[in-house]
């Protein structure tokens, strides 16, 4: 590791700098002397240092002295107004609850269609689609590299024919639909739009979200196909297409979730995600898109990890940073471009295989932090996900967890109930400052694509994840049931996906290839290839190819021919 990286890694764990400037009141000073000190002499605290799960230092007590330069009108403001610390809507969850959007997908399209319809019948209010690894990597189910992976991590979608089955009897005009797909996002989106068209839905009214965040793939999740430049072009093509054709659809969900799952700290998650967001804005502007027109369609996606207050501070700081960047960096005049909207998923990496029922409790607390942080939609993980994809039983408890928070706890009765807390406001300030430090460092490298090419965010995350594992091994951080409070449990019943899905898919694909017009498919794939060599927006060409029932693999291959593929420099 170079000296430069060693030096920057240090700031991943910011020092407790702000306490040096604290000027405690006379009352607080007297308390320290008369009450606190004698207590500490008799009963020392449990640990020498208290830190968040990210390793961020937390002080004993937060008071007015921590907020000496804090101006509630300027820094907190009112909900629905800049700087959006308290949320992006004036009535927040009193007006409308967050969307309960459970991520689901397994087996073949008909299996997932059934789960979707079950979840909607249970009161879920939006759909979220998980695709299997071959689909995520742009391979058909019958490709050699798909062996053993078909339908395992999500649903297998190889063509428009599969997509028609996936959304059968689900009115896309009325159900907002999210699709977790990145490298082949433009292709899967074209399939979705084709199904919507067949259902007679007006594209202008379609609402939902495409994940389509390629930058975090290079940084964290690593499901990339093409190199960064052509991948970014495809993303901006979807923005441009969306502005014209689907004004209510989010063409991207700029995701911190996977960055966090890869082992980042909360501050890194926030900083890298928002810097990714700024990168997309800048590429969109270079295409000639108007910030005030396309930015309102960009959405975000964060992780809800286990450190309750750190997470709440992260969501609040995210809104403040985005507002500031849109106004100060890009001169945005449209308040809809200033307001950061986000989806949240509870932390998969916090789930334990041991004593799996404890995961219900973890997930509930994480979900609560997302709600208190002002999320617009939420996925709660199932208790069995450290073992397998969730059973219907486990997925139902996860959904019920959200319904209990929404309807029983009373936390949605008021806007930003933690606003004004000395601790939460101080932590929000500190998390924001830590994120700006990273953002400015990446600016200095020439932006996020440049930073990725020198493995900067990848190294920072690897460093943080190793540190956390060492903390667990040394029991400096505790995971209940894993490195403390250990007990034996009976195994769970888990969802099994066998190879029959792969066989069904292979059969369906060979029938499809026999039934469609070969000439038409070849003609449209060639048109796409030619367009890829030029500068045209590729969405119309992809849409045409999809409608001729060209497969996902064929369409991605046409672009592989032109763009090539990407290999990362593996760092350990």
Partner 1 sequence: MPEKKIRVLIAKPGLDGHDRGAKVIARALRDAGMEVIYTGLRQTPEMIASAAVQEDVDVIGLSILSGAHNTICPQLMNLLRDKGMNDVTVLVGGIIPESDIAPLKKAGIAEIFLPGTSTQDIIDFIHKRVSMH
Nearer to partner 1, 139 or 239 (CB): 139
Nearer to partner 1, 263 or 277 (CB): 263
Provide the 3-class DSSP secondary structure of residue 448: helix
Nearest distance in Å: CB 181, partner 1 = 14
Rounded Cα distance, 162 and 507, in Å? 12
Provide the 3-class DSSP secondary structure of residue 152: coil
Beta strands at 377-379 and 342-346: parallel, antiparallel or unpaired: parallel
Q: Which long-range contacts (CB under 8 A, 24 or more apart) does 119-126 make?
A: 119/395, 119/399, 120/170, 120/175, 122/396, 122/399, 123/399, 123/403, 124/100, 124/399, 125/99, 125/100, 125/101, 126/99, 126/100, 126/101, 126/175, 126/176, 126/177, 126/178, 126/208, 126/377
Nearer to partner 1, 200 or 491 (CB): 491
Residue 374 contacts residue 340 (beta carbons within 8 Å)? no
Beta strands at 298-304 and 99-104: parallel, antiparallel or unpaired: unpaired
Nearest distance in Å: CB 437, partner 1 = 24
Rounded Cα distance, 343 and 378, in Å? 6
Nearer to partner 1, 291 or 395 (CB): 395
Nearest distance in Å: CB 350, partner 1 = 10
CB atoms within 10 A of CB 446: 11
Nearest to 330 by CA among 275, 271, 277, 281: 281
Rounded Cα distance, 21 and 125, in Å? 48
Nearer to partner 1, 424 or 502 (CB): 502
Nearer to partner 1, 413 or 572 (CB): 572
For 119, half-sphere exposure in the C-beta direction (CA atoms, 13 angstrom radius) is 32
Rounded Cα distance, 176 and 340, in Å? 19
Nearer to partner 1, 323 or 362 (CB): 362
Site residues, partner 1 (CB under 8 A) = 133-134, 136-137, 139, 145-149, 152-153, 217, 221-224, 261-263, 349, 351-354, 386-389, 462, 465-466, 469-470, 472-473, 479, 481-483, 491-492, 494, 496-497, 499, 567-568, 570-572
Q: Which whole-number Å values give the CA distances from 557 to 20, 423, 563, in the listed order? A: 58, 52, 10
Nearer to partner 1, 96 or 475 (CB): 475
Nearer to partner 1, 175 or 353 (CB): 353
**31 exposure class (CB count in 10 Å sphere: 0-12, 13-18, 19+):** middle
Nearest distance in Å: CB 225, partner 1 = 11
**73 exposure class (CB count in 10 Å sphere: 0-12, 13-18, 19+):** exposed
Nearer to partner 1, 250 or 346 (CB): 346
Nearest distance in Å: CB 1, partner 1 = 11
Nearest distance in Å: CB 164, partner 1 = 25
Nearest distance in Å: CB 201, partner 1 = 32
Nearest distance in Å: CB 335, partner 1 = 37
Nearest distance in Å: CB 473, partner 1 = 5
Nearest distance in Å: CB 146, partner 1 = 8
Beta-bridge partner residues of 104: 129
């Amino acid at each position: 590791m170079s000296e430069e990286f060693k030096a920057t890694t240090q700031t991943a764990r910011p020092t407790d700098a702000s306490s040096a400037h604290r000027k405690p009141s006379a009352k607080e000073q007297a308390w320290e002397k008369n009450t606190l000190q004698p207590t500490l002499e008799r009963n020392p605290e449990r640990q020498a240092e208290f830190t968040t799960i990210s390793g961020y230092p937390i002080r004993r007590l937060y008071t007015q002295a921590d907020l000496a330069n804090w101006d509630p009108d300027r820094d907190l403001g009112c909900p629905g107004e800049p700087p959006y610390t308290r949320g992006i809507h004036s009535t927040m969850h009193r007006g409308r609850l967050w969307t309960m959007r459970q991520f689901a997908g397994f087996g073949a399209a008909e299996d997932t269609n059934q789960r979707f319809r079950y979840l909607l019948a249970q009161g879920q209010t939006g759909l979220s689609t998980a695709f299997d690894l071959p689909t995520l990597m742009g391979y058909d189910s019958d490709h050699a590299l798909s062996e053993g992976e078909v339908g395992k991590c999500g649903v297998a979608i190889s063509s428009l024919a599969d997509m028609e089955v996936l959304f059968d009897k689900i009115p896309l005009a009325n159900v907002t639909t999210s699709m977790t797909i990145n490298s082949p996002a433009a292709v899967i989106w074209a399939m979705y739009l084709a199904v919507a068209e067949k259902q007679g839905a007006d594209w202008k009214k379609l609402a939902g979200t495409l994940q389509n965040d390629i930058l975090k793939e290079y940084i964290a999740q690593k499901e990339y196909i093409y190199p960064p430049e052509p991948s970014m072009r495809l993303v901006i093509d979807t923005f441009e297409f969306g502005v014209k054709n689907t004004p209510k659809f989010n063409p991207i969900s700029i995701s911190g979730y996977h960055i966090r799952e890869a082992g980042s700290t909360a501050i890194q998650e926030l900083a890298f995600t928002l810097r990714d967001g700024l990168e997309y804005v800048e590429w969109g502007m270079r295409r000639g898109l108007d910030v005030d027109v396309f930015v309102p369609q960009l959405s975000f996606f964060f992780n809800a990890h286990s450190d309750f207050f750190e997470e709440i501070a992260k969501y609040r700081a995210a809104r403040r940073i985005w507002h500031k960047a849109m106004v100060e960096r890009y001169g945005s005049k449209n308040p809809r471009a200033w307001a950061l909207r986000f989806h949240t998923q509870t932390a998969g990496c916090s789930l334990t295989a041991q004593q799996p029922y404890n995961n219900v409790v973890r997930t509930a607390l994480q979900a609560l932090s997302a709600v208190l942080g002002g999320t617009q939609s939420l996925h709660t993980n199932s208790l069995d996900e450290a073992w397998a994809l969730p059973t219907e039983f486990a997925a139902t408890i996860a959904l019920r967890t959200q319904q209990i928070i929404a309807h029983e706890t009373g936390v949605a009765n008021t806007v930003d109930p933690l606003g004004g807390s000395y601790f939460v406001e101080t932590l929000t300030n500190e998390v924001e400052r830590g994120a700006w430090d990273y953002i400015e460092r990446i600016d200095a490298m020439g932006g996020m694509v440049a930073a990725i090419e020198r493995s900067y965010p990848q190294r920072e995350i690897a460093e943080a994840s190793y540190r956390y594992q060492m903390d667990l091994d040394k029991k400096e951080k505790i995971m209940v049931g894993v490195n403390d409070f250990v007990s034996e449990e009976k195994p769970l019943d888990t969802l099994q996906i066998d190879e029959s899905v792969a066989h069904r898919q292979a059969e369906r694909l060979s029938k499809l290839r026999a039934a469609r017009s070969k000439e038409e498919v070849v003609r449209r794939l060639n048109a796409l290839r030619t367009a890829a060599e030029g500068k045209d927006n590729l969405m119309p060409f992809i849409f045409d190819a999809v409608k001729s029932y060209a497969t996902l693999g064929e369409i991605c291959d046409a672009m592989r021919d032109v763009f090539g593929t990407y290999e990362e420099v593996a760092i350990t």
